[in-house]
Structure 1
């Protein structure tokens, strides 16, 4: 049964919200669903949430990009860039402004806030779990995220909806569109995990493609702590020879990028033909200089990330970069949930990827 739909896109996700609304409008006969909302700030930097239309009894979807650092606000007359903490507070303000009137609230948070602080070592906070409990206590019915750093975090809210969506289909589409000469078999292709945490993603993709996997594990200095973490000493490789093969490295995010470039360098040193990188979220917290240099040195051939979070304008101009558009996918998720239909094929799109690969292989054989 289709419920009356409403979409609120916070300022951090305004561009994506407009595109998703246009897609849904195209599918649903021209009707638009965006509800205007904002979080104006006082001179102290404090804020309030305002929803400018009624949300009573609506099936409400709130979009937020906690990684959008391009947005600024004034505090004591000085410009501050919005941090993930600021974006999360604004999300709670908008939920609070709905005053419990919405029929159901779903938060679409592609990059799960504090997902990297997901486990406790010694005396540490469990920020991701606390965040999820806060949203649950505020009446959020379901949380939609993409490629969560550790999907086991959903255990913090076992009685609430939590969907961890894989963008594997969109990465496959982009890869097959970008390259027409791929040989998809174990003699010519491998999927590579840059660390132990990415193994589930790699095993899923490799199983569908029908190729083998390799894995790097991070050797750390556990006697030292730098910036709250044990520094990485080296990346050691486990797996068969990569010589002459296209190696596809998969991870959930690129932060500074140092580990990914080290992995690419080692693969090239082992004789890999091409190194292609899939990362759901491209943060590039230290800029692009090291990636430009690594590309010039031939360490990798193409880097794919989604547009689920804010993309820095200069990134889109890079010769080595390929943007993976996921807006139609998010629109399909909203459409299907609003109609009360199954989400299984969207969350784990193994069947559609397999069909795409079969078509790609048959078209190559017919050339």
Structure 2
């Protein structure tokens, strides 16, 4: 049943610029002004987080926009406390919009006596009072099953497909999609299918954690414009090495499309000095001046997709329709004109 009240957005400090962009897009769709709910989110001297919501939210359909990116613990705690404040203020429904879901890489027990932190975080979010989660490109699909509430997992591949068709127009026949490891083949295959491109795989073998010992390219990349596809770029070591291996195997150019630009430590410097012509990331994580200044790093917006997803959830409509390129094309009309 469609909601009676308008959807209301509130944002933490993790990615305020994305939250404002989502509000602007929703205002355009609704033909009326949708602003972020005014709130005070601050820290005491001992770094305890305090939240005060200034507007009445009783009976409202609330959407809390907060990726749990670096600093992951602070941003996660901020999300939980905001949800608690809204729940105690009698909000009718609370949807956590988490563009980047931190702790997602700890989704299973890789060895004895280790936690499954993604499940713990899912429990915390559910127990705080969240009714639904909206996220983007979860590192592992099974994380959706860690929640006992509905989870809508959006995909970046339809947006990436639009971007590739726009920026590689006229030479799509040269494009080859590359998975940087065996685990990411499904994600790479999905994008390759959308742009009708062949698929290659970089098989990497580690001698110990954090170090890649050997890389082997499965597939002929000679003379191809290679596009590496992955969900997370952290220190960019593996990504840059994969680009080098592809160039050594005869690739004409190497570009990368990564959903979440964690880009910690020496990542930006590595990408800037690498053989990659471009690294394309989404704005799921707010980036600093260093990334903005990097000549070969480009950011594509997710606000149009998130805005439409929120409106679909609010109106009781399908979110899976946003997985289709045909649905996203008009939403991204201004950024990627048709024809």
TM-score over 0.5 for the pair:
yes
1:342 paired residue among 318, 329, 335 = 318
Partner in structure 1 of residue 182 of structure 2: 196
Cα offset for 1:86?
0.7
Partner in structure 2 of residue 321 of structure 1: 297
Partner in structure 2 of residue 72 of structure 1: none
Partner in structure 1 of residue 215 of structure 2: 235
The CA distance in 2 between the partners of 1:314 and 1:92, in whole Å, is 30
Q: 5 Å matches for 1:13-24?
A: 13-24=15-26
Cα offset for 1:350?
4.7
Asked which structure has the greater CA Rg, the reply is: 1
Conserved? CA contact 1:333–1:343, under 8 Å: yes
The CA distance in 1 between the partners of 2:3 and 2:250, in whole Å, is 54
Mark the runs of 5 or more structure 2 residues left unpaired by the alignment: none
Q: Which deviations, in whole Å up to 9, do the C-alpha atoms of 1:121-177 show, x marking residues without a partner? A: 2111111111111111222111111111111111112x4111111112221222233
Q: Which deviations, in whole Å up to 9, do the C-alpha atoms of 1:185-242 show, x marking residues without a partner? A: xxx2211100122111111111222222111222122xx5xxxx36321222222x11
The CA distance in 2 between the partners of 1:88 and 1:257, in whole Å, is 24
The CA distance in 2 between the partners of 1:273 and 1:279, in whole Å, is 20
1:183 paired residue among 169, 172, 177 = 172
Instruction: Provide the secondary structure at the position in 2 that maps to 1:11.
Output: coil
1:332 paired residue among 302, 308, 311 = 308
Cα offset for 1:13?
2.2
Conserved? CA contact 1:217–1:237, under 8 Å: yes
Q: 5 Å matches for 1:1-367?
A: 1-4=2-5, 5-67=7-69, 69=70, 83-100=71-88, 101-120=90-109, 121-157=111-147, 159-184=148-173, 188-221=174-207, 224=208, 229=209, 231-239=211-219, 241-287=220-266, 288-294=268-274, 299-346=275-322, 348-352=323-327
Partner in structure 2 of residue 80 of structure 1: none
Deviates more, 1:310-319 or 1:253-262: 310-319
The CA distance in 2 between the partners of 1:354 and 1:47, in whole Å, is 40
Instruction: Provide the secondary structure at the position in 1 that maps to 2:87.
Output: coil
Cα offset for 1:246?
1.2
- Which TM-score applies when normalising by structure 2? 0.91
Mark the runs of 5 or more structure 1 residues left unpaired by the alignment: 70-82
- Which TM-score applies when normalising by structure 1? 0.84
Q: Which deviations, in whole Å up to 9, do the C-alpha atoms of 1:79-118 show, x marking residues without a partner? A: xxxx210110111111111234111111011111211111
Instruction: Provide the secondary structure at the position in 2 that maps to 1:304.
Output: strand
The CA distance in 1 between the partners of 2:92 and 2:327, in whole Å, is 33
Structure 1 segments (4+ residues) deviating >6 Å: 353-356
What value does the CA root-mean-square deviation take over the aligned residues?
A: 2.2
Q: 1:17 to 1:230 in 2, by over 3 A?
A: closer
Conserved? CA contact 2:188–2:199, under 8 Å: yes
Q: 1:65 to 1:354 in 2, by over 3 A?
A: closer
Instruction: Provide the secondary structure at the position in 1 that maps to 2:231.
Output: strand
Cα offset for 1:262?
0.7
Partner in structure 2 of residue 76 of structure 1: none
The CA distance in 2 between the partners of 1:209 and 1:183, in whole Å, is 8
Conserved? CA contact 1:37–1:94, under 8 Å: no
How many pairs were matched up?
Answer: 329
The CA distance in 1 between the partners of 2:210 and 2:230, in whole Å, is 20
